[in-house]
């Protein structure tokens, strides 16, 4: 699996932690920035990661900011993206199983690195269930055409 990962300054430390986890798991990941704790605008990072996922260059993406809210809103503006803000393991599992989320967003100031690692592991390992959920995801994607 190939994953795009990025953060603003508010998510920089957690991004670095999660990059190490991805390496441990053998996941091929590319870092879209930021590369320091200096202030940057989260919509720029979200756009880069989301566009790369939407184009099919990456199977999934992970974006982190202080709360995970801003990067989620920004990423979901890109056609083809289903970004899910997850602060617990169950939500991460359901975002994949029921919603086929292709981007996970996290808030460094909301969750700690231990929980974040568990969320990412479950999110990466959970497959989309399809079936009755497929038509619902299709309806979500059809909203982009409205």
Residue 35 annotated among the catalytic residues of the structure: no
Among residues 4, 17, 10, which one has the least CA distance to residue 108? 10
Do the annotations mark residue 132 as ligand-binding? yes
Does the annotation count 13 as an active-site position?
no
Residue 70 labelled as part of a binding site: yes
Check whether 136 is labelled as a binding-site residue.
yes
122: number of Cβ within 10 Å:
20
CA atoms within 13 A on the CB side of 73: 6
Question: Which residue among the candidates 13, 65, 133, 135 is catalytic per the annotation?
Answer: 65
99 annotated ligand-binding residue:
yes
| 43 sits in which H/E element | helix 42-54
Kindly name the residue from 13, 35, 98, 133 that is annotated as catalytic: 98
Q: Residue 89 and residue 127: Cα distance in Å, rounded?
A: 14
- Residues assigned a catalytic role: 65, 98
**Which residues are documented as binding site for D-ribulose 5-phosphate?**
8-9, 66-70, 99, 109, 132, 136
**Which residues are documented as binding site?**
8-9, 66-70, 99, 109, 132, 136
């Amino acid at each position: 699996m190939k994953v795009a990962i990025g953060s603003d300054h508010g998510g920089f430390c957690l991004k670095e932690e999660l990059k190490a986890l991805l390496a441990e798991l053998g996941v091929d990941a590319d870092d879209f920035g930021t590369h320091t704790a200096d202030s940057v605008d989260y919509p720029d990072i979200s756009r880069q990661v989301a566009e790369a996922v939407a184009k099919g260059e990456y199977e999934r993406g992970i974006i982190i900011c202080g709360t995970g809210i801003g990067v989620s809103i920004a990423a979901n503006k890109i056609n083809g993206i289903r970004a899910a803000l997850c602060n617990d393991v169950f939500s991460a599992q359901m975002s994949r199983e029921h919603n086929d989320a292709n981007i996970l967003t996290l808030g460094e100031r909301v969750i700690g690195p231990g929980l974040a690692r568990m969320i990412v592991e479950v999110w990466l390992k959970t497959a989309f269930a399809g079936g009755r959920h497929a038509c619902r995801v299709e309806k979500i994607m059809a909203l982009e055409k409205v």
